[in-house]
Amino acid sequence: MADAKEPAGVSNLAGAGAPGSVSGTWEPAPSTPLAPGLYLVATPIGNLGDITLRAIDVLRRVDRIACEDTRQTQKLLNHFQIEKKTVSCHEHNERSRATELIQNMKARSAIALVSDAGTPAISDPGSWLVREAIAASVPVFPIPGANAAISALIASGLPAEEFEFLGFLPEKSGARRTRLENLAKLANLAALAAPSQAGPRKTARTLIFYEAPHRLLATLADLESVWGPALRVVVARELTKIHEEFLRGTVAGVRRELLSRDRIRGEIVLLIEPPAQTVSSGAAQDAATTQEKIADRIARIRSENNIDEKEALKRLARELGRSKSDLYRELQRERARKR
Ligand code: SAM
């Protein structure tokens, strides 16, 4: 590989400016060699038109492309008529592959890393390779582009000034509930810790999760029991695709809408706006006080449907996507705490 003194893009910037300078204009320069290093290239999350000019240019000019799934990336490369050697780099081989790729880059190769969709290393492989590259003094270049969390946030209508991206929640219902309960406590504490001049701040930061369609209803049910039915949520589905959809409202309302559907499909980002902490004293309110207890929910289901406890437990378990025995144990724990 020919030596290149400047990182990708610098030599292509007409006019003044450093890489990323807003005053520079960009044009592809396929004949200019890329600087050796690791290029983290974002790819579309649905709409192929969302690939950037720079991403195409870099993918054309690197020596090799490391892919989460080579077959998936090949479709993208075919679409943009990019002929390039690919190599797999996924969660099961990232560590061993990193060693090999770093040797290549130390020998002056330019390597791109792409995931199946969106920005590498965001709920996707890449972080390990990046850390190893930095440790080996290999330059790392972000080539930014599509990302589902940010796309959902900006169109959600929820506060975007401060947010927290939390990736996927645990799949198992018990662990998911515990995680959400801990988040509720943290959200309360954060709201208390950053009072504005007029008193405690009005909203906590928006929380963003990735969620699988088959777990969405159970997660919404958990959110409702942790934060209450009035929690503001947004479900962003199939972003940038033909069936793109935003469901905005209270958790109870959005859940009702989704329950009325035959099936929930597609890729989903779930956003929530934890309610403002209303206590004005310095004492943190225990998040448990804002949760609806299992016993209360069972009592409500029983009275609404005129059924016995066993049947109510069965219905609640189905609604929450949890096992009856798991829920029964939690009920017993609640009752033991009351005694
Ligand atoms: N690295 C990707 C990014 O930058 O967004 C995320 C990869 S993660 C393995 C895949 C998850 O992202 C999906 O399960 C879904 O929660 C979310 N996601 C990806 N594409 C999406 C889309 N078009 N619409 C909504 N959510 C999407």
CATH for 241:
3.30.950.10
- φ, ψ for residue 85, nearest 5 deg: -70, 135
Domain end residue (candidates: 246, 269, 285)? 285
How far apart, in whole angstroms, are the C-alpha atoms of residue 9 and residue 30? 11
Does residue 5 register a pLDDT over 60?
Answer: no
What proportion of the chain, given as a percentage, has pLDDT over 70?
81
209 and 98 in a single domain? The answer is: no
* Torsion angle (degrees, nearest 10) of CA 78, 82, 83, 84: -110
Confirm if 268 and 212 have CB atoms less than 8 A apart. Answer: yes
Asked whether residue 35 is assigned to any structural domain, the reply reads yes
How much is the average pLDDT of 239-264?
97
Of all protein residues, whose CA lies closest to atom 11 belonging to ligand 1? Answer: 210
SS3 301: helix
What is the helix (H) or strand (E) element at residue 319, kind and residue range?
A: helix 309-320
Mean pLDDT is lowest, of 194-198, 233-237, 256-260, 330-334, for: 194-198
Strand order in the sheet with 86-88: 86-88, 64-67, 110-114, 37-41, 140-143
Asked whether residue 3 is assigned to any structural domain, the reply reads no
The number of the ligand 1 atom at minimal distance from the alpha carbon of 212 is 14
178 and 97 in a single domain? The answer is: no
Asked whether residue 7 is assigned to any structural domain, the reply reads no
How far apart, in whole angstroms, are the C-alpha atoms of residue 155 and residue 79? 28
Structure tokens belonging to residue 155: 């169109």
Separation of CA 165 and ligand 1 centre (Å): 12
Q: Pick 33 or 125 by higher pLDDT.
A: 125
pLDDT digits (tens, 9 = 90+) for 170-205: 999 899 999 999 999 887 776 666 655 555 555 579
* pLDDT attached to residue 202: 55
Separation of CA 49 and ligand 1 centre (Å): 17
pLDDT digits (tens, 9 = 90+) for 219-236: 999 999 999 999 999 999
What proportion of the chain, given as a percentage, has pLDDT over 90?
63
* pLDDT attached to residue 336: 78
140 and 250 in a single domain? The answer is: no
269: Cβ below 6 Å to ligand 1? yes
Asked whether residue 5 is assigned to any structural domain, the reply reads no
* pLDDT attached to residue 13: 34
Which CA distances in Å does 287 have to 39, 207, 252? 43, 16, 19
Asked whether residue 65 is assigned to any structural domain, the reply reads yes
281 and 311 in a single domain? The answer is: no
39 strand-pairing partners: 112, 141
Alpha helices in 241-293 (DSSP H): 251-259
Q: Is residue 319 very low, low, confident or very high in pLDDT (cuts 50, 70, 90)?
A: confident
302 and 246 in a single domain? The answer is: no
Nearest partner of 209 among 247, 151, 166, 156, judged by Cα: 166
* pLDDT attached to residue 321: 65
Domain end residue (candidates: 285, 306, 327)? 285
38 strand-pairing partners: 111, 140
Asked whether residue 259 is assigned to any structural domain, the reply reads yes
Mean pLDDT is lowest, of 13-17, 52-56, 223-227, for: 13-17
pLDDT digits (tens, 9 = 90+) for 143-163: 999 999 999 999 999 999 999
Q: Is residue 324 very low, low, confident or very high in pLDDT (cuts 50, 70, 90)?
A: confident
Candidates 45, 72, 153: which one to mutate for ligand 1, based on the most atoms within 8 Å of Cβ? 45
299 and 280 in a single domain? The answer is: no
* pLDDT attached to residue 193: 66
* pLDDT attached to residue 176: 95
pLDDT digits (tens, 9 = 90+) for 74-127: 999 999 999 999 999 999 999 999 999 999 999 999 999 999 999 999 999 999
How far apart, in whole angstroms, are the C-alpha atoms of residue 183 and residue 217? 19
Structure tokens belonging to residue 59: 């993918």
Q: Pick 22 or 330 by higher pLDDT.
A: 330
127 and 157 in a single domain? The answer is: no
How far apart, in whole angstroms, are the C-alpha atoms of residue 46 and residue 127? 23
Does residue 309 register a pLDDT over 50?
Answer: yes
**Domain boundaries, position 72:** 12-146
Domain end residue (candidates: 111, 131, 146)? 146
125: Cβ below 6 Å to ligand 1? no
pTM for this predicted structure: 0.78
Asked whether residue 181 is assigned to any structural domain, the reply reads yes
* pLDDT attached to residue 295: 85
26 and 97 in a single domain? The answer is: yes
- φ, ψ for residue 333, nearest 5 deg: -65, -45
117: Cβ below 6 Å to ligand 1? yes
* pLDDT attached to residue 194: 60
Q: How many CB atoms lie within 10 A of CB 135?
A: 9
118 and 44 in a single domain? The answer is: yes
CA 48 to chain centre: 20
Candidates 268, 270, 271: which one to mutate for ligand 1, based on the most atoms within 8 Å of Cβ? 268
Does residue 30 register a pLDDT over 90?
Answer: no
Asked whether residue 1 is assigned to any structural domain, the reply reads no
Structure tokens belonging to residue 140: 């790392």
* pLDDT attached to residue 115: 98
Query: Angle at which helices 324-338 and 309-320 pack, to 10 degrees?
Result: 120
How far apart, in whole angstroms, are the C-alpha atoms of residue 137 and residue 135? 5
240 and 309 in a single domain? The answer is: no
123 and 84 in a single domain? The answer is: yes
Residue-wise DSSP of 161-193: SSEEEEEEPPSSHHHHHHHHHHHHHHHHHHHHH
Q: How many CB atoms lie within 10 A of CB 213?
A: 15
> Domain tally for the chain?
3
Mean confidence (pLDDT) of the chain: 85
* pLDDT attached to residue 51: 98
Which residue reads 């240019």 in tokens? 57
Does residue 17 register a pLDDT over 80?
Answer: no
CATH for 68:
3.40.1010.10
238: Cβ below 6 Å to ligand 1? yes
Separation of CA 302 and ligand 1 centre (Å): 39
119 and 223 in a single domain? The answer is: no
Q: Are strands 163-168 and 268-273 parallel, antiparallel or unpaired?
A: unpaired
